[in-house]
Amino acid sequence: MTYTPAKDEAACRLPDPAQLRAAPAPRLRGLAAEIRAFLIDHVCTTGGHLGPNLGVVELTLALHRVFDSPRDTLIFDTGHQAYVHKLLTGRAEQFPTLRQAGGLSGYPSRAESEHDLVENSHASTSLSYADGLAKARQLAGEQQQAVVAVIGDGALTGGMAWEALNNLGSAPGRPVIVVLNDNGRSYEPTHGALARHLESLKANGSVAGCRNVFTELGFTYFGPVDGHSTGEIEGVLRRARTLNRPVLVHVVTVKGKGYAPAETDDADCLHAVGTVDPVTGRPAGSGAGWTWTGVFGRALAEVAAERPKVVALTAAMLRPTGLHAMQQRFPERVFDVGIAEQHAVTSAAGLAMGGYHPVVAIYATFLGRAFDQVLMDVALHRLPVTFVLDRAGITGPDGPSHHGMWDLSLLSAVPGMAIAAPRDPQRVEDLLREAVTHDQGPTVLRIPKAPAGGDVAALARMDGIDILHRSPRRPLDVLLVPVGPLAQAALDAARLLEEEGIGVTVADPRWVLPVNDALPPLAARHLLAISIEDGVTSGGVGWALAQACRAHNVSTPVVPLGLPRSFISHGSRTALLAAVGLDAAGIIRTVHDALTGTTLTSQETLR
């Protein structure tokens, strides 16, 4: 399809669900084309998940024609494929605000609409929600209301999905319809035995009474169904609804359908986009500069070239976590296990037991799903596994389920875990090299979703701590201890505080947890210490520093500056950090507030 922009906002006259159910079938093809044009126009402008939504247009139309949402429940897994659902449930006018502060969420949102039940965007959860909801309906005698879970073939690689299938298929009297949206991809093409099985089902076509993994689990199987024929999908869904038992409908779609740049995008760059040119599908602007992910990917490929025992694992996020560079050079040493974070971590433990040093590259928010494996399968055995947490801290427009803001608090409780936070590109390489030489337990590097910027040089190194700034010939009033890339905001604040006559030291611990033994004595030379971290303060770096100061009989008060213990909405990373005081202005306010109640006395100068 050649891209043709929508004529105006009124060009996509979207019916509500009731109108859609009454619409004549010939109207649906034109409606699908209008929706695609609308999506391309708006998502290319605001950014968001483009490819997945272009692929489910006809499927979503059929779902809303057969089922009466919200009386019937539609659950989308992972939720990034719900844009068409949003359009059909009255939110088209809000699309210019997609993923912007105060605007439309990029995922289903309970606050936005009664049609959205589940807003968590972590994959492989829909079938468990459906299982619980179907049980509730059965207990309440409301089984006439349908429960439908839409799950992609990528999300079906998650172990949690199979735990739910095991339960759903064992209850023939409890109707749940599972719609398997099979486009053969997560980001990269879907790998593994399940992918091969789905390919065999597609190759053999629909055979009445055929046995497959789903029928063996207790489901009635319909498929493969053409996912771009609303009529065909609608007919199968109507049949599935009449059976009043667990049914799996295998729908085959094309990711990015109807938009040539997305359909031919082998690298899947149009899965999730920033601002792009809708004609070409290419990023708007120069696109110059490295991201933190790119810096890590380049560094890992170099480290892997030097150290043959370094291997890498990812959970269906090869390119988004930067592993593509290593995979191109050493394909036999990079393992994509699918959306299976628990398996990835314990598989890494096995690799470490076998004499290798695994690097597990994963989004910070997703590592929480495998905390038990980190604790009991890696740390308990003191295994040398390095976790590189992409999207650590505030991520921005993806919202609360994607902010990687709990990793420091969670991982600080893991015995033997050492956590590093690079402040700049050079420190990514330095700390990665240090991590893969550590053989006494697990290590972590956390990097943000942001442009990498330039290097921040240290004035000196003191017992492993980089001193980035110290005020000359002044009492040292304040010690700022930034975590990772927040070092630049701390430096900006330090210079402004100096103009007010407040002496400041900025110290980057590099390895932020456990607390370096040299940090409490350094804090003792100041009236006040402030930690600056884009994680929740409960159990974070500031909390640990305060504990360490008490253990060293250091009386200097420690003020943890970080994220509140709450779910933070979507918006730009810069704006969200500023809103919680994690910019230079916020740091200065915190210093002023803390010093107001502190008696200033002459302090020993840092030597």
Active site residues: 255, 341, 369
The response to whether 259 counts as a known ligand-binding position is yes
Q: What is the pLDDT of residue 606?
A: 29
Give yes or no: residues 402 and 473 share one domain. Answer: no
Give yes or no: residues 206 and 309 share one domain. Answer: no
| Residue where one domain finishes, among candidates 243, 273, 303 | 273
Residue 451 has phi, psi (to 5 degrees) of -60, 145
Sheet (strand 357-363) strand order: 334-336, 310-314, 357-363, 386-390, 443-446, 418-420, 511-513
The response to whether 11 counts as a known ligand-binding position is no
pTM of the model as a whole: 0.90
- The most distant pair of C-alpha atoms in the chain lies apart, rounded to whole Å, by 86
Give yes or no: residues 191 and 49 share one domain. Answer: yes
Q: Is 186:51 a contact under the CB 8 Å cutoff?
A: no
Asked if residue 376 is part of any domain, the answer here is yes
Asked if residue 431 is part of any domain, the answer here is yes
Domain containing residue 126:
9-273
Asked if residue 216 is part of any domain, the answer here is yes
- DSSP character for 26? H
Distance CA 314, CA 157 (A): 13
Mean pLDDT by 10 residues, the chain (607 residues): 52 78 92 93 88 92 96 92 92 91 90 89 91 94 92 91 95 93 80 90 74 94 94 96 95 88 70 78 70 96 97 94 96 95 97 98 95 98 98 91 94 97 97 97 96 94 96 86 97 95 96 97 96 95 96 96 93 93 96 76 31
Distance CA 258, CA 260 (A): 6
Distance CA 262, CA 271 (A): 8
Give yes or no: residues 269 and 315 share one domain. Answer: no
Give yes or no: residues 172 and 141 share one domain. Answer: yes
Number of domains in the chain: 3
| Residue where one domain finishes, among candidates 273, 306, 332 | 273
Q: What is the pLDDT of residue 607?
A: 25
Give yes or no: residues 262 and 231 share one domain. Answer: yes
Give yes or no: residues 412 and 472 share one domain. Answer: no
The response to whether 592 counts as a known ligand-binding position is no
Q: What is the pLDDT of residue 600?
A: 41
Give yes or no: residues 56 and 17 share one domain. Answer: yes
Q: What is the pLDDT of residue 285?
A: 64
The response to whether 539 counts as a known ligand-binding position is no
Distance CA 202, CA 196 (A): 10
Q: What is the pLDDT of residue 69?
A: 94
Give yes or no: residues 62 and 162 share one domain. Answer: yes
The response to whether 457 counts as a known ligand-binding position is no
Give yes or no: residues 433 and 471 share one domain. Answer: no
